Structure 1
């Protein structure tokens, strides 16, 4: 099965839901500034609910019941489907394509893997393999570029090297 085209918010909500049935309010708490996911990347509550609706529409999540809300309406509890669980598991070990995504998507994946007690090494190894040729290409570009192009190439090179050092540090 091809991986569904989901936004980063939808992937995060799907991975959180794969941990066990939950309602939107509980998931939104995890993505607040003080939540374990929100310390990396915050998702406003309305976007969590929108993501749950889309995941349900795509057949990746389904309602499994309700529970009373605290001074509010009943809360709809959802669970991932088999397709949702498989998609989340595949996404969690897939390296990010761009160095700029290491700061958000990669770190989110590490946090989500950690939450379940999973092994981050397959993701870390795949990510390092993805970054090494980028570092080599950027090194060559630094050696041949001039002026502003050299400054930009140097910035990109140093950022890629830092990302690779992160992979090595996480591996230890």
Structure 2
């Protein structure tokens, strides 16, 4: 099953610790710790939990929550743990995904105090290929404008990744 960014985000948050859907939704809300990078609306969080459970990447656990009703928290399966650990180190394949995929992964790695160097090195390789490809072929007419746009964006993204690798930004 191919997962979208909301599912991966939920899976990665569960990699930190078992949580209930409401806690995940709070983290991914617009004002939440992760939502300030990329937000996932509450209905999408619950949809993601259902898809992840169906894919057997997470499992529900019922826990006592005091005098009220029992709560369902979710925990990763071994397969879910392996999948999310691999995903966290895969680069975004398209420059347009950097704003969402790369920044979310960097935020998630930071939350767990994990070194992002492997991800950044892989991302740099992808971006270097894009910069080389868009710089080599300038096209004619509007194609030239489009290629210049892509080249400029990819070059800026490459500088951003290089700065992160060099430790120029926290």
Give the TM interval when normalised to the shorter protein. over 0.9
> What is the CA-CA distance between 1:74 and the residue it aligns to?
3.9
Q: CA RMSD in A?
A: 1.6
Q: Which runs of 5+ in 2 are unaligned?
A: none
Q: Which runs of 5+ in 1 are unaligned?
A: none
Of 109, 116, 122 in structure 2, the residue corresponding to residue 113 of structure 1 is 109
* Correspondence 1:1-172 to 2 at 5 A: 4-68=1-65, 74-142=70-138, 145-171=139-165, 172=167
Q: So what's the TM-score if we normalise by structure 2?
A: 0.92
> What is the CA-CA distance between 1:67 and the residue it aligns to?
4.3
Determine helix, strand or coil for the equivalent of 2:113.
Answer: coil
Determine helix, strand or coil for the equivalent of 2:62.
Answer: strand
Distance 1:113 1:73 in 2: 34
Residues 73, 151 of structure 1: alpha-carbon distance in 2 compared, 3 angstrom cutoff? farther
Determine helix, strand or coil for the equivalent of 2:63.
Answer: strand
- Alpha-carbon deviations, 1:80-134, whole Å to 9, x = none? 0110000000000001111100111011000000000000000000000111011
Residues 169, 132 of structure 1: alpha-carbon distance in 2 compared, 3 angstrom cutoff? same
> What is the CA-CA distance between 1:37 and the residue it aligns to?
1.2
> What is the CA-CA distance between 1:73 and the residue it aligns to?
5.4
- Alpha-carbon deviations, 1:14-60, whole Å to 9, x = none? 00001011000000001111112111111111110111111111111
Runs of 4+ displaced beyond 3 Å? 67-70
Contact 1:67 1:77 in 2 (8 A): no
